[in-house]
Amino acid sequence: EAQVTQNPRYLITVTGKKLTVTCSQNMNHEYMSWYRQDPGLGLRQIYYSMNVEVTDKGDVPEGYKVSRKEKRNFPLILESPSPNQTSLYFCASSPTPQGALAQYFGPGTRLLVL
């Protein structure tokens, strides 16, 4: 089944404790992206990647890191999480390098930083 998977789905952590949210897609898509979703603000792009070893900042990159060493994986790293990073996170992928076609979203990761 074609899908985007994220792990973990739910995470409670404390301020300053490094964490990684994994994202994997099995559709051989070139474009991958991370978003956070907050009430009233909608989805905001954190980082995106047009291909392996190519990443770029979205609208809200501060406090986040990403890497794209393989085509299928695009992990999101929070080196020192803070409470304002409490949010619902979505990973997405798209067939084209520019992401001009539809994006396929993962199920989401709900993060609470205490």
Residues in contact with other proteins by CB under 8 A are 4, 33, 35, 40-45, 48, 50, 56, 58-59, 90, 92, 98-108
CB of 74 to other proteins, least distance (A): 15
Cβ distance to other proteins smaller for residue 38 or 79: 38
Cβ distance to other proteins smaller for residue 80 or 99: 99
Q: In whole angstroms, what is the distance from residue 79 CA to residue 81 CA?
A: 6
CB of 61 to other proteins, least distance (A): 12
CB of 6 to other proteins, least distance (A): 9
User: Got the DSSP string for 25-84?
Assistant: ESS--SEEEEEEEETTTEEEEEEEEEETTEEEE-S--TT-EE--SSSSB--EEESS--GG
